Amino acid sequence: MERDDIVEYSLDGHHSEEAGVKIRKKIWFVTALLTAITAVEVALGMMIKQGSEAWPIVKWGFIVLTMVKAGYIVLVFMHLGDERKSLKSVILIPYFIFIAYLIFILLWEGTAIGEVLSTYGS
Amino acid sequence: MAGHASKQIDSKTLWGGKTSPFSTSYGKLMMWFFLVSDALTFSGFLIFYGANRHSYGGSWPIGEETFNSLPFLGHGYPLIYVALMTFILIVSSVTMVLAVEAGHRMDKRGVVKWMIATIIGGFFFLGSQAWEWSHFIHGSDFGKVELNDGSLAIVKGHFGEIEHFTVTKAGDHHHVGDKITEDLAHTYKHAVSEGHLNNNVITLHDGSEATVEKHENEHLKLLVKEDGGTHKKGDVIEGNEAAVIYEGIVNSGDADRVIYGANLEENEYGPNQYAQFFFFITGFHGFHVFTGVLINILILMGAIRGVYHKRGHYEMVEKTGLYWHFVDLVWVFVFTFFYLV
């Protein structure tokens, strides 16, 4: 039986040949970018040793570059950038609130445990 | 791609029932929700890894010291191998997104071609990871040593090749004068960690004793990782002193002063938790890659049989694509927090 109350969203993804050319161009651009970022990360990791003066900057640089990579993967490869704003919010906001909290609480706790162990011995 | 999701619809219609306020199909939405929960799991692992690392106040292993080998080429290539693994996974993610794009044009041949490429990339990654694990478990030629003052150091340098063992005292299997030429490195490392090497005389499993004919180790360097009586964390012992200390420990005949490789109880790289986290986090990720490859194969078979073409859309490819990209996404974070930082 045909049902008229179901909207077939699966067909929304279809696009034309011309649009496909543009999309593929974007895909290859993102590929080059992700590869370049990874190469830069490895080069920096080889040149700058942990514990050196420049290390904290490099470390935070790595974390920022990771977020850039993650952003491109999620928004372009996973097409989240093309979805409705409500869907983006539903996925990203609860996740980031919880993860920011967890990072804060666990790293704080880890440091505190480390201090206790170094003061009183393990 | 864009389609309905970017169409302007006033929120009253959108949220008024009958249509999905997200303008996506049920399956895709559920895949996203599953991925959010899986992302929480992985974040939990990585953050707990961070908490442990913070509690060690700086004596945690350094990625470029631990992972510096390439197959067939030996040591001295920090992080190149994992960078290669990252690149393989990124490329297989790209071929996946190309398969999804082909699906949006109802291009069956394109979907099949790019799905096959994705699956090959997945197998390449799994193979790389198998090598990585094997290398991690077997460890370096030198191991981690406990110095006389109780400090712990990892060792870098060039390992002198072992030529053979010459039996000097007969045991159950070997006779005096026998030359043993097989499985030398493994036997040697095992004897060292058990304390069965004493002044260059090795005691074998069958009770026989043999002298070790071995080239000298060169360019030895001891990197102190945990404080002892005289040596402090961060000290580097080089040159003749390093050779004297290291050979002394290896030939001491004391058990448990040298640890090679890694298992769930101890490892040569750092605190016990380090190897446990390595096995658990990269293992859990590898399991995701493995299931991803299996799902990709199923979808490839569906595409070849024309199931999705008959259905009128290739959304199944898009949904597995989401999972596959997620696996890549997780690896980006594992790469940063396990290897780089």
Chain B residues with CB-CB distance to A77 below 8 A? 93-94, 96-97, 321, 325, 328
- Assess if residue A62 is contained within a domain: yes
- The count of domains in chain A is 2
Domain that holds residue A33: 16-82
Count of Cβ atoms closer than 10 Å to residue B54 Cβ: 20
Contact B207, B216 (CB under 8 A): no
At residue B333's C-alpha, the angle toward residues B119 and B83, to 5°, is 60
CA distance B189 to chain A (A): 29
Residue B233 backbone dihedrals phi, psi, to 5 degrees: -55, 130
- Assess if residue A3 is contained within a domain: no
pLDDT (tens digit per residue) in A58-77: 999 999 999 999 999 999 99
pLDDT (tens digit per residue) in B25-46: 888 999 999 999 999 999 999 9
- How many Å apart are CA A30 and CA A34, to the nearest integer? 6
Counting residues of chain A whose pLDDT is more than 70, the rounded percentage is: 94
- From chain A residues 64-93, the ones with a CB under 8 A of any chain B CB are 66, 69-70, 73-74, 76-79, 82-84, 86-87, 90-91
Whether B15 has a pLDDT exceeding 90, the answer reads no
Chain B residues with CB-CB distance to A5 below 8 A? 18
Alpha carbon B16 to its chain's center: 50
Chain B residues with CB-CB distance to A79 below 8 A? 1, 100, 318
For the CA atoms of chain A, what is the radius of gyration? 22
| Higher-confidence position of B244 and A102 | A102
Residues B62 and B174 in one domain: no
Domain that holds residue B246: 144-271
Residues B116 and B223 in one domain: no
- How many Å apart are CA B228 and CA B250, to the nearest integer? 18
User: SS3 of B149, please?
Assistant: coil
- Assess if residue A94 is contained within a domain: yes
Residues A51 and A93 in one domain: no
Q: How confident is the model at residue B9 (pLDDT cuts 50, 70, 90)?
A: confident
pLDDT (tens digit per residue) in A5-43: 667 787 877 888 888 899 999 999 999 999 999 999 888
Q: What is the pLDDT of residue A1?
A: 58
| Higher-confidence position of B145 and B290 | B290
In terms of pTM, does the model score above 0.95? no
What ipTM is given for this predicted complex?
A: 0.90
Question: Taking residues A97-121, what's their average pLDDT?
Answer: 91
Q: What is the pLDDT of residue B222?
A: 87
Given B53, B97, B315, which is nearest A77 (Cβ)? B97
pLDDT (tens digit per residue) in B277-296: 999 999 999 999 999 999 99
CATH number at residue B125: 1.20.120.80
Contact B211, B168 (CB under 8 A): yes
Residues A22 and A55 in one domain: yes
Residue B208 backbone dihedrals phi, psi, to 5 degrees: -75, 160
- How many Å apart are CA B179 and CA B105, to the nearest integer? 69
Chain B residues with CB-CB distance to A39 below 8 A? 83
Most confident segment among A110-114, B5-9, B97-101, B240-244: B97-101
Counting residues of chain B whose pLDDT is more than 70, the rounded percentage is: 98
Q: What is the pLDDT of residue A108?
A: 93
**Residues B290, B295, B299, B302: is their CA dihedral positive or negative?**
positive
- Assess if residue B6 is contained within a domain: no
Residue of chain A nearest B85, judged by CA positions: A38
> Whose CA is closest to B136, among B245, B257, B280?
B280
Q: What is the pLDDT of residue B331?
A: 95
Encoded tokens for B302: 């569906």
Q: What is the pLDDT of residue B23?
A: 83
Q: How confident is the model at residue B159 (pLDDT cuts 50, 70, 90)?
A: confident
Residues A63 and A45 in one domain: yes
Whether B12 has a pLDDT exceeding 60, the answer reads yes
- How many Å apart are CA B165 and CA B201, to the nearest integer? 9
- Assess if residue A5 is contained within a domain: no
User: SS3 of B50, please?
Assistant: helix
- Which residues of chain B form beta strands (DSSP E)? 69-70, 74-75, 144-146, 152-158, 162-169, 179-180, 197-198, 201-203, 209-214, 218-226, 236-238, 258-259
Residues B46 and B131 in one domain: yes
